[in-house]
Chains A and B, each alone.
Chain A
Amino acid sequence: METLTMEPKRQLTPRRRPPTQRRRAVRSNLTAYGFLCAALFCFAMFAWWPIIREVVLSFQQTNLVDEPTWVGLDNFRTVVEDPAFGQAWRNTLVFTLLALLCGYIVPFAVAIVLNELRHARAYLRFVVYLPVMLPPIVSVLLFRWFYDPGPGLFNQVLDFVGLPALAWLDSTDTALISLVIVSTWMNLGSGVLIYLAALQNIPGDLYEAAELDGAGILKRIWHVTVPQTRLILLLMLMLQIVATMQVFIEPYMLTGGGPENATVTVAYLMYQYAFVYGGNYGAGSALGLMLMIVLLAVAAVQLRLTRDEKR
């Protein structure tokens, strides 16, 4: 963001007498705001106001028809006392960690391998990104069928290679990881391609130099590839965290939060409050506010790390 302010002030016209200049400035500002007004409207109504409204709503109770009433911390008490509250945070956290493991380290490794290959690059890039293009509902419904304990693909494959069947979505042990698998499958491609682009920007002579110093392949990765892509890696870390913390469609379509709340996530619980439990928008907003604060904290940490990195 800093780069935006670094540009020199534009000086279009030679300096003239102050009054004219002021009039010109007013007119040019008017024109500029004329161009901006549509965007300002959209942002004000659908980006900025909802953020403010979330804070307000979390202290209110409303049925959308009557005037909202102020209820102090009641909504927060409601959600904190919710039996699924702790579980939802724990699940979201575990989901995020697992998704990072699968969705952060794996694509980086895959990208490194892909970057070394000299053949079939276009095909591989196309294929890895294919699931990303599919609407998530397609992936989710497809995997719902794969996970079917009977004729589902996964258990059939396990059976074929002589392994015992798994319960997948139907066991507290495997349900969450099953969701991570779907989520990874449908998102892996974007990570891979972003890393691939970053890898292609590493100057080749760095590797040459490392090689001359006698560095083996692993050392070259550790001493050249990783430092050279560190900024992107940091950025992706935050993007991944933000993306996985909003996990919703997977539990919504696949498990309904079960079994035994093993897959309830914060976003899912939020939806339950607002749209299943008879319109408790206040409690839902309270949860949303908590999630927002956590995400902002993550963003702040990331920003800090990036800044240190740039120095």
Chain B
Amino acid sequence: MKSRNLAILLTTGLVLSLAACGSDSSDSNAGGVKITVACQPAKTAAKQRKAWNDDVAAFEKAHPGVKVDSTDQQPCFDPKTFAAKLAGGQMETVFMVPVTNYTDVIAKKQAKDITGVTDLVKNYGDIKQDVRGMVTKDGKVYGVPNVSYSVGLVYNRELFTKAGLDPDNPPKTWSEVRTAAKKIAGLGDGYVGYGEYGGGNVGGWHFAQSIFSRGGEMVVEDKAAFNSPEGKAVLQNLHDMRWEDDSVGSKVLIGWEALMQQMAAGKTGMMLGAPDVVTDLVQKFQGNVDAYGITGVPEGKASLTGGEAYMINPKANAAQTKAAMQWIDFQFNTPGKGRHDYARGKANGEAVGVPNNDYMGDSPTGRAIVKDREANAVLPTENYRFYVDTAAGVAPKLEPAKAQELYAVLDVAMSAVLTRENADIDKLLADAEAKANTILAQG
């Protein structure tokens, strides 16, 4: 390298560094409004992404002067960066929050009060009262819920048939789950009857789903309540399935994607999951569209609620707020449009027909959405009728306080029964209880 080139190089570096200080990007959009919206589908889901981009174009056309930028961060709500993005003004104008985080986000004033403008979402009033209640605090509204569901049992109908089980008579109790799992695992090498998580915080999450289904509790009055007959039954059942029946596989699954991937590969019989699991299996993980059915959670004493709402950046100005609400209205809450454009979904090979959302309940909009969904259903909707039939009657449960910390504690118990044949369940639960109480006591 010649010295002159070196000098040029160094100067470039210095100029670059100086330029940094002066490059305060100002987004003054002459006359127009610019909003950024989260949750554009990833590039791996090409068709869904195109559909989203078409929606953005259609929306911009219908609202002249509004410019919409999409972000496709995966997962689209990332607890890791949420606080920092918001603090640093990097948060999208419209962002999605899962039900787990509603309380936290609202309490920390990280979402805009939209009480006065809810009428911009035309069907806001049709959203179920209890679902709206979750985003309302002291009479103020902080978000527009647009998904709500409860956990059920997702199962592979093809494997049921293959194993000589009746896919139209899915397990209703945990002991039936165990019997079915054993039969499916008996199909040969690599077959897993019932898939379960053992770490990465999702193990504890599924423990919560299981204990709720048996009528147990996670936390009662700021005290851990899972060291109970129901909690023991959850672990004992899992332990026996692992070590007596060998029907849960030998690989410990860590992280949400691990079980999804395994389920989508077509050799796993059952897993706990909400209807959105079916959608993801088919769309994100390229699972076989026809294979998956869903039924109510075994035993069905209660079920963990899932769902999401769109909220608006507290730093958005009035014009942006208006455009943002119009976007939420257009994309997520209009029958036949955006998310509810089931005809297009069908054409794109989505698992249309999955009852993955009943946030509108039995309102006119809700009925219109369901009607539209069933008219375009790709699958015989009876694959899901067991879920629909039972879901309405199952008591919904919210996630406990300090959910992630508790899940980390319960990961230990879950991984223990999955990796050690001699795991002492009573001791595991007692230990976890003590640890959880310490965490809960820290307030």
Please, how many angstroms separate the alpha-carbon atoms of A64 and B89 in the complex?
12
Would B199 and A256 count as touching, CB distance under 8 A?
A: yes
Interface string of B413-441 (1 = CB under 8 A from A): 00110111000000000010001001100
The CA-CA distance from A227 to B255 in the complex, in Å, is 49
- Provided the pairs A65-B86, A277-B405, A278-B104 are in contact, do residues A259 and B416 lie with their beta carbons within 8 angstroms? yes
Query: Which residue in A64, A167, A260, A261 is a CB contact (below 8 Å) of B83?
Result: A64
Majority secondary structure of chain B interface residues (helix, strand, loop or mixed): helix
Cα distance A272–B86 when bound, in Å?
A: 20
Contact of B199 (CB < 8 Å), options: A84, A148, A259, A278:
A259
On whether A278 and B415 interact (CB within 8 A), knowing A63-B83, A64-B87, A256-B255, the answer reads no
User: Inside 8 A of B420's CB, which chain A residues have their CB?
Assistant: 171-172, 260
A260-B416 contact given A149-B250, A167-B250, CB 8 Å threshold: yes
Say if the beta carbon of A275 comes within 8 Å of chain B: yes
The closest CB in chain A to the CB of B442 belongs to A78
Chain A contacts for B438, CB-based, 8 A: 81-83
Chain B interface residue number, banded = 35 or more
A172 to B251, CA, bound (A): 13
Is the pair B109, A84 in contact by a Cβ cutoff of 8 Å? no
Nearest Cβ distance between residue A6 and chain B, in whole angstroms? 29
> In the bound complex, do residue A258 and residue B435 qualify as a contact, i.e. CB atoms below 8 Å apart?
no
Closest Cβ–Cβ distance, residue A303 to chain B (whole Å): 34
B404 interface contact, C-beta 8 A: yes
For residue B190, which residues in chain A have a CB less than 8 angstroms away from its CB?
Answer: 150
Q: Are the CB atoms of B252 and A63 closer together than 8 Å?
A: no
Q: Are A255 and B254 in contact (CB under 8 A)?
A: yes
Which residues on the B side are within 8 Å of A277 (C-beta)?
402, 404-405, 408
Give the distance in Å from the alpha carbon of A65 to the alpha carbon of B17 in the complex.
Answer: 28
- Does any Cβ of B come within 8 Å of A54's Cβ? no
Closest to A74 in B: B442
Residues of A within 8 A of B203 (CB): 258
One digit per residue, 1 when the CB lies within 8 angstroms of any chain B CB and 0 when it does not, for chain A 263-285 equals 00000000010011111000000
If the complex has contacts A65-B87, A149-B251, are A258 and B199 also in contact, measured as CB distance less than 8 A?
yes
Q: A172-B420, A258-B252 are in contact. List 19 more A-B contacts (CB 8 A).
A: A64-B83, A64-B87, A81-B438, A81-B442, A149-B251, A150-B250, A150-B251, A170-B250, A255-B254, A257-B199, A257-B200, A258-B199, A258-B412, A259-B252, A260-B419, A261-B412, A275-B79, A276-B408, A277-B408
A-B contact pairs, 6 of them (CB 8 A): A63-B83, A63-B87, A83-B435, A149-B251, A170-B418, A256-B200
A residues adjacent to B (C-beta < 8 A)? 38, 63-65, 74, 77-78, 81-84, 148-150, 167, 169-172, 255-261, 272, 275-279
Interface residues of B (CB under 8 A from A): 14, 17, 79-84, 86-87, 104, 108-110, 189-190, 198-201, 203, 250-252, 254-255, 402, 404-405, 408-409, 411-412, 415-416, 418-420, 431, 435, 438-439, 442
Q: What are the nearest 6 A-B pairs in CB distance?
A: A256-B200, A258-B199, A259-B415, A83-B435, A64-B87, A256-B254
